[in-house]
Amino acid sequence: QVQLVESGGGLVQPGGSLRLSCAASGTIFSIYTMGWYRQAPGRQRELVATITYDTRTNYAESVEGRFTISRTNANVYLQMDSLKSEDTAVYFCNMNYRGVVYWGQGTQVTVSS
């Protein structure tokens, strides 16, 4: 059983920064893709960024140039800079391992004055 636990969310002012972390545990081998998704109130869940086992990255257009995804083994991080109010959402960690998708419980990010 794979477990994903997110941390690092909170309240930040527009223009500020946050760093989200996701720790994966369980019996996991080296070949897998991890990512971050988010869901704002009244909106569907959307992809934020993904990173493959060999560190190839993909970003949503809305966060390109502001967010950076990285990983160390079974941990994935999301550095969020120049935050905007529209970034407010619950952020979920995701892992695709051997065709099975795993999700964390989410961490709240609120960008407001």
Instruction: Give residue-wise pLDDT tens across range 21-68.
Output: 999 998 777 768 999 999 999 999 999 999 998 889 999 999 999 999
pLDDT at 31: 67
Instruction: Give per-residue burial for 29-49: e unless 16+ CB within 10 Å, then b.
Output: eeebbbbbbbeeeeeeeeebb
**What confidence category does residue 97 fall into, taking pLDDT thresholds of 50, 70 and 90?**
confident
Q: CA 52, CA 71: separation in Å to the nearest integer? A: 9
pLDDT at 32: 85
Q: What percent of the chain has pLDDT over 70?
A: 99
Query: What does the chain come to in residues?
Result: 113
